[in-house]
Amino acid sequence: KQEVTQIPAALSVPEGENLVLNCSFTDSAIYNLQWFRQDPGKGLTSLLLIQSSQREQTSGRLNASLDKSSGRSTLYIAASQPGDSATYLCAVNPGRGAQKLVFGQGTRLTINP
């Protein structure tokens, strides 16, 4: 059974710092991996999707990497801002077609002005 772990569960950093969020998964047979953002009381917003054949994806100040063989992904946030405060979740998709995502429990990020 696929298990996804995110460490740390919470992270607090001052504004302007670069930071890395970690995600690990137990089964390397994945189709893709996604990073989501969730604001309090809201739904999830997709940030980045990495196919199993890719090593990284970038969107603005965000960069996600994938090392499928070691079962790890990282989300790098550059020059953090208070608006980046949210919970970040990673999810693995085990196969084609219906995306039966398996989620980690998330990292709650706080950026202090």
Q: What does the binding site for another protein look like in residue numbers (CB under 8 A)?
A: 31-32, 34, 36, 41-46, 49, 89, 91, 93, 96-101, 103-106
Write out the DSSP string of the chain: ---EEEE-SEEEEETT--EEEEEEES----SEEEEEEE-TTS-EEEEEEEETT-SEEEETTEEEEEEGGGTEEEEEE-S--GGG-EEEEEEEE-SSSS---EE---EEEEEE-
Taking the complex as a whole, the smallest distance from the CB of residue 44 to another protein amounts, in Å, to 4
Give the nearer residue to another protein in terms of CB position, either 80 or 91: 91
Taking the complex as a whole, the smallest distance from the CB of residue 43 to another protein amounts, in Å, to 4
Give the nearer residue to another protein in terms of CB position, either 60 or 96: 96
